[in-house]
Amino acid sequence: MSAILEVKGLEVAYGHIEAVKGIDFSLNEGEITSLVGANGAGKSTTLLALSGLIKKRAGSVIFDGEDLTRLPAHKIVERGVVQVAEGRAILTTMTIRENLELGAYTRRDRANVASDLEMVFTLFPRLLERVDGLAGNLSGGEQQMLAIGRALMAKPRLLLLDEPSMGLAPIIVQGIFRTLREINSKGLTIFLVEQNVRQALKIAQRGYVLENGEIALSGNGRDLLDNPRVLEAYLGA
Task: Provide the whole-model pTM.
Answer: 0.94
- Report the share of the chain in percent with pLDDT over 70: 99
What is the mean pLDDT of the segment spanning 195-215?
95
36-56, pLDDT tens digit by residue?
A: 999 899 999 999 999 999 999
Q: Which residue has the higher pLDDT, 24 or 1?
A: 24
Domain boundaries, the chain: 3-234
The pLDDT-based confidence of 228 (bands split at 50, 70, 90) is very high
Which pLDDT does position 237 carry in this prediction? 53
What's the chain look like in SS3? Answer: CCEEEEEEEEEEEECCEEEEEEEEEEEECCCEEEEECCCCCCHHHHHHHHCCCCCCCEEEEEECCEECCCCCHHHHHHHCEEEECCCCCCCCCCEHHHHHHHCCCCCCCHHHHHHHHHHHHHHCHHHHHCCCCEHHHCCHHHHHHHHHHHHHCCCCCEEEEECCCCCCCHHHHHHHHHHHHHHHHCCCEEEEEECCHHHHHHCCCEEEEEECCEEEEEEEHHHHHCCHHHHHHHCCC
What is the mean pLDDT of the segment spanning 93-111?
90
Mean pLDDT over all residues of the chain? 94
Residue 159, Cβ neighbours under 10 Å: how many?
A: 23
Q: Which residue has the higher pLDDT, 18 or 235?
A: 18
Asked if residue 172 lies in contact with residue 138, where contact means CB atoms within 8 angstroms, the answer is no
3-234 belongs to CATH 3.40.50.300: yes
What is the mean pLDDT of the segment spanning 28-39?
95
